[in-house]
Chain A
Amino acid sequence: MISAAEPASVRANNGRMPRTPQLPVEREVRPTPDRYRNPIGRYKVRRSADCRSCGLCVELCPHGVHQKPPGYSLTLRPRDHLCIGPDCAQTDHYCIERCPNHALSLARNPTADAMGDPRWTSDLILSTWHQAETGHAPTGGLEFQHGASGGGFDKLRFRFPERPPVALDDSEIDTGLELNRRNDGRPRVHIDLPIYGGGMSFGSVSIHVMLSKARAAAAWNTFTCTGEGGYPGRLEPYDDNVITQVATGLFGVREETIQRVRVVEFKYAQGAKPGLGGHLLGDKNTPDVARMRQAVAGNALFSPFPFHSVYSVEDHKKHLDWIKMTNPKALVSVKVSTPTDVDMVAVGSYFAGAHIIHLDGSYGGTGAAPDIAKKNIAMPIEYAVPKVHKFLVAEGIRDEVVLIASGGIRTAHDVLKAIALGADGAVIGTAELVALGCIRCGGCESGRGCARGIATTDPELMLQVDIDWGTQRLINLLAAWREQFVDVLRHFGMRSITELRGRTDCLYHLDYAKEGEAACD
């Protein structure tokens, strides 16, 4: 069973400031269509002028492609993003052949073919949209589990037993995670999903996106993260589900913001630009952003790299102690990237007192970053997770820290694979943005910012994302992912997602598979 969130009153306030009453958000899947007029699907169905509006196609199609609402004399333009394509020809309701006037035609949608890239294929983007719309994984043949990058997660598959060792009902399976394993007197913090939202600053994304993320986190009793750009006041009703970030620029970091939250994240590095600082271009530093960051509007803002106050594990500990003193109830997460000695960094962070070690692999990231850094600097997360997991096990401290993977986690199956490789959970970023309508054009940094209204603070562009719509899309996405977590755990007969951690025997790699296994794929 999903354990209920602790009531806010139980979570003691440290007494230094009045708390804003926390607003609950309902955890319910509701259909939430694309916010654009023309949703994109794999196929295009065209209706020619030969159509006589007889309505046969409306009767035939079980997927809702053809619609003729009561009182309409003409059939509507096909909602072709729902079409399952030529496979439908095997059935008796294939509209293309059944149309008495031969007015319908079917073709692949060139737009779908032109979208995407090896990491986020067109199918992954479309299937993420589908999950955000419906709250369930797609059934029409869209690939939703892995991309086509030819390595890492995309080459890993689950080795399911022929039948589950224990037959479990879905309601018996727990996908929750404890974030404090240290037994240090600080509160236990439980999240209902093994995932939370990554740090995206106010400035890099709009307040509507931040609020959508925070509200979805509140609905699922998990977290979102402010990133390094200050703590907008509008997030206060969701304080219990917000992680605030302390990063090298210290933009917007105040005692009060640290005292407001249950988890504080130190960002030492980020996967998008490992070893490099952050950079908010002047155009995106609007007056609102500047106020939040206590900076001058219009100036480019640099976060230096690294923390110039931290050059040793002792300095690192001093840093964490500072946060722990400022907020005696908070857990501390340390976000690092993936250098060759990432295992040593993780152990050092444990001894410095971190509750959560968050590894950010090099292929992810949401913000603008130099292409050379994204591709070449630091190792992909698929390599870093087993390396750190094994080292923490060998050091005998694995069960005292929570290991979180991020940077290239695109799908529910990526999360599960990261856990099987040794992580406790994952942080997602791009997947959330895709659910909100991102198509990964990469133009986050140009001019006014994101054309889709996500990674922008432009007052006109940002209105494209409505808060309620965004919240619901993310709630749906998480619901769809949870269904997949439960589904995989049921196949393995596991009652809790924590049982999957480090179970590399549940995985195989297509390149090194034993005979017969590759054929299963």
Chain B
Amino acid sequence: MPKRYHIPIVPAPARFRPVGKYGTVDWREDCSRCKNCVKIQCVYGIYRSEHDYNIDPSSPTEPLFDCHACLSCIQGCTKGLLSLSINPEYLALGGDYWRPDLIAATWEQAEAGRIPVSGAGYRGPFSGPGFDSMWTDMSEIVRPTRDGIHGREYINTSVDIGPKPPHLALGPNGELDEKTEPLLEVPIPVILDIPPWDPPNEAIPSARIAAAAALGTLSVVRPNEIAAAAPNHLSSLVPLFEEPRFAEHEPLLQQIRMVEIADGPDTLSHAEQLRIINPDLIVCARLRLEPAAFERVWALYEGGIKVIHLCADTQGREFAGRPRFVKDALRDIHGRLVQEGVRDEVTLIASGGIAAAEHVAKSIVCGADLVAVGLPLLVALGCRVCSAGHNGSCPADMQSIDTSYAVQRIVNLMGAWHSQLIEVLGAMGIREVRRLRGEVGRAMFQEDLEREAFGDLGR
């Protein structure tokens, strides 16, 4: 039996105190020093860790980064001097898509490598745009679930990348008639992509490559980042060529397994050049997700390119005037490939807007084989997705991150995502992430549910 896939989690505390959600505001001037101080009785010991409290009355009031907002101190203070507030710095994190809670949850996962757990029910909005307007299924009674997370049953999260022949052709003596096309298996349906912006720190690309190697997956890199790869990590490299400067990378191209080429009018001839250099190379065309993407996918398929990376923008939208969300575009492209009868020959990689583990599962349900993530890797390193700070004034000080820390944070985040993917698959009773692809019957879409449940209201 092959060794089970395991992601080595080692807790990697944040380099700076993460921005906490809650702070406690107090009016020290009115404190009666009654000695019943609720702050000493904090069950989480938060005030003790803020050890200068009450020693230096003139020290500025700091937000309590670890406060759980249980309100015990606020409701217990003899004179009622304390109030809770939400840290404005927390509310200022991120933007419309990367909301503060998503950033904080990503930090937590990158630190601990564990599934975020909380009590007292769900606390978000009923639904939302994009991935938040669908739910995944679970099994009940007649369809057994799979107990993946406690390790009693093995749930396979591997996917294949590469052209898959629709059938095998055999010669007269039963031997394989033609050369098998290259096929690459990665143990998680996630590859690490180039982030939408580059912090000025060379440790970050090299950490991305090393993390991909540690995870057994792939990392997309720009040609100028190839030098950052350790020699034993070459098999995790997927260089992205915007220009067909293949000749200068010929030795490398003979050692690696996959390349991406930015889609353009000459994509097919570039792919031909690459196959001449290395016939075993998997060539993936990377294209912007646009309303006409299916037509382009079809042209590439007919031209022999069977691995296609569809890139939405960082918020998961098509590049269009009235963009569809990546989940809807994927359902469309996947569905049409199924109709054409060629879906199994093609590998679709989706990226853009994949910000949480649930988005991986949902993208796959909507028709992707796997996803590529870039921005979540920066968030794992402490990035706040602020709009201003890529020019040296970064509040997370991304310039000073070292490689080993960055590798562990990325590995931890992927470990947490992997565990969550297993939870989702286990609940559905699916033992193979490959079988999740396009399984819209095991998902529930809000438009259908609303029509069924409320369509006849008041009529």
CB-contacts of A89-137 with B (<8 A): 109-111, 113-115, 117-120
Does chain A have a CB within 8 A of B357? yes
Contacts of B25 in A (CB 8 A): 110
Known: A275-B145, A275-B428, A304-B152. A110 touches B121 (CB 8 A): no
- In the complex the two chains form, is A111's CB within 8 Å of B150's CB? no
B308 interface hit (Cβ, 8 Å)? no
Contacting residues, chain B, for A447 (C-beta < 8 A): 43-44
Cβ B121 vs Cβ A408 within 8 A: yes
Report yes or no: B142 in contact with A311, Cβ–Cβ below 8 A: yes
Report the bound CA distance from A156 to B454 in whole Å. 9
Q: Report B-chain residues with C-beta under 8 Å of the C-beta of A40.
A: 71, 74-75
Report how many residues on chain A are interfacial, defined by Cβ distance under 8 Å.
103
Binary contact readout B356-372 vs A (1 if CB under 8 angstroms, 0 otherwise)? 11100110000000000
Chain A 204-237 interface residues, beta-carbon cutoff 8 Å to B:
none
Min CB–CB distance A155 → chain B (angstroms): 8
By a CB distance below 8 angstroms, the chain A residues around B137 are: 339-340, 377-378
Using known A-B contacts A40-B75, A379-B444, A380-B126, determine if residue A306 contacts B120 with beta carbons closer than 8 Å.
Answer: no
Partner of B358, one of A114, A276, A372: A372
- B140–A363 touching, CB < 8 Å: no
Return the contact of A442 from the options B72, B123, B449, B450 (Cβ within 8 A). Answer: B123
A341 to B125 Cα, complex, angstroms:
24
**A82 to B449 CA separation, bound complex (whole angstroms):** 42
| Shortest CB distance A70–B (Å) | 23
- A441-B69 in contact (CB<8A): yes
B132-149 interface bits toward A, Cβ cutoff 8 Å, 1 = contact, 0 = none: 000111111110110101
Residues 439-483 of A contacting B (Cβ, < 8 Å): 439-448, 451-452, 455, 461
Cβ of A328 under 8 Å from chain B: no
Q: Are A313 and B141 also in contact (CB < 8 A) when A277-B147, A439-B71 are? A: yes
What are the residues of chain A within 8 A of B118 when measuring CB–CB?
Answer: 368-369, 371, 374, 442-445
Name the one of B86, B119, B139, B423 contacting A339, with C-beta atoms under 8 angstroms: B139
Collect the chain B residues with CB atoms within 8 Å of residue A443's CB: 44, 68, 70, 118-119
Q: Mark A346-384, 1 if CB is under 8 A from B, else 0.
A: 001100000000000011111111111111111110110
Known: A114-B86, A305-B145, A421-B453. A444 touches B427 (CB 8 A): no
For residue B442, CB closer than 8 A to chain A, the reply is yes
Interface centre among A117, A371, A514 (most CB of B within 10 A): A371
B79 interface neighbour in A44, A77, A440, Cβ under 8 Å: A77
| CB of A150 within 8 Å of the partner chain | yes
- Name the distance in Å between A486's Cβ and chain B's nearest Cβ: 23
- Mark contacts of B428-451 with chain A using CB atoms, 8 A cut-off: 1 yes-contact digit, 0 otherwise: 110000000000011010000110
Residue of B nearest to A117 (CB): B123
Nearest A residue to B21, CB-CB: A114
Interface flag for A504 (CB, 8 Å): yes
Instruction: Determine if A507 is an interface residue (Cβ-Cβ < 8 Å).
Output: yes
Is there contact, CB below 8 Å, between A305 and B147?
yes
Question: How many angstroms from the CA of A341 to the CA of B147 in the assembled complex?
Answer: 20
Q: Is the CB of A38 within 8 A of B80?
A: yes
- Asked whether, in the complex, the Cβ of B121 is within 8 Å of the Cβ of A109, the reply is no
B22 touches which of A39, A114, A304 (Cβ 8 Å): A114
Q: Contact partner of A370 among B72, B117, B124, CB < 8 A? A: B117
Residues in A whose Cβ lies below 8 Å from that of B135: 362, 376-380
Instruction: Flag if A370 contacts B420 (CB, 8 Å).
Output: yes
- B426 located at the interface, meaning its Cβ lies under 8 Å from any Cβ of chain A in the complex: yes
B1 interface contact, C-beta 8 A: no
Flag B101-113 by CB within 8 Å of A: 1 or 0 each. Answer: 0000100000000
Q: Once bound together, how far apart are the Cα atoms of A152 and B44, in whole Å?
A: 36
Docked CA distance A372–B417 (Å): 10
**Size of chain B's interface in residues, with CB distance under 8 A?**
72
Contacts of B441 on A, CB cut-off 8 Å?
A: 340
CB of A114, distance to nearest CB on chain B (Å) = 5
Of A151, A386, A438, which is within 8 A of B127 by CB?
Answer: A151
- B147 to A445, Cβ gap below 8 A? no
**Distance (Å) between the CB of A206 and the closest chain B CB?**
14
Contact B423 A114 (CB under 8 A): no
B126 pairs with A154, CB closer than 8 A: yes
Contact with B along A371-405 (1 / 0, CB 8 A): 11111111110110111000000000000000000
- In this complex, what residue of B is CB-closest to A384? B453
A155 to B144, CA, bound (A): 35
Say yes or no: B454 contacts A509, CB within 8 Å.
yes
Does A72 interact with chain B (Cβ within 8 Å)? no
The answer to whether A339 touches B140, judged by C-beta atoms less than 8 angstroms apart, is yes
B138 contact from A150, A274, A302, A386, Cβ within 8 A: A274
Question: Do residues A374 and B138 form an inter-chain contact, with CB atoms below 8 A?
Answer: no
Cβ contact of B68, chosen from A118, A446, A514, cutoff 8 A: A446
The answer to whether the Cβ of B158 comes within 8 Å of any Cβ in the partner chain is: no
Task: Given A341-B140, A448-B43, answer yes or no on A119-B122 (Cβ-Cβ < 8 Å).
Answer: yes
A268 surroundings in chain B (CB, below 8 A):
140-141
Q: Is B457 an interface residue (CB 8 A)?
A: yes
In the complex the two chains form, is B138's CB within 8 Å of A269's CB?
Answer: yes
Determine how close the nearest CB of chain B comes to the CB of A32; give it in whole angstroms: 16
Contacts of B44 in A (CB 8 A): 443, 446-447, 451
Residue of chain B at shortest CB distance from A204:
B119
In the complex the two chains form, is B119's CB within 8 Å of A367's CB? yes
B414 to chain A, nearest CB (A): 15
Contact B420 A37 (CB under 8 A): no
Any chain A CB within 8 A of the CB of B84?
Answer: yes
Q: Given contacts A371-B105, A379-B135, A383-B450, list 20 more A-B pairs with CB under 8 A.
A: A44-B83, A117-B123, A118-B126, A151-B125, A159-B458, A305-B426, A311-B142, A341-B140, A363-B121, A369-B119, A372-B424, A376-B424, A382-B453, A386-B453, A441-B71, A446-B44, A448-B43, A452-B72, A512-B454, A514-B458
The residues of B with any CB-CB pair to A shorter than 8 Å are 22, 25, 43-44, 68-72, 74-80, 83-86, 105, 115-127, 135-142, 144-145, 147, 149-150, 152, 356-358, 361-362, 420, 423-424, 426-429, 441-442, 444, 449-450, 452-454, 456-459
> Which 3 residue pairs of A and B lie closest in terms of their CB atoms, listed nearest first?
A275-B427, A151-B126, A444-B119
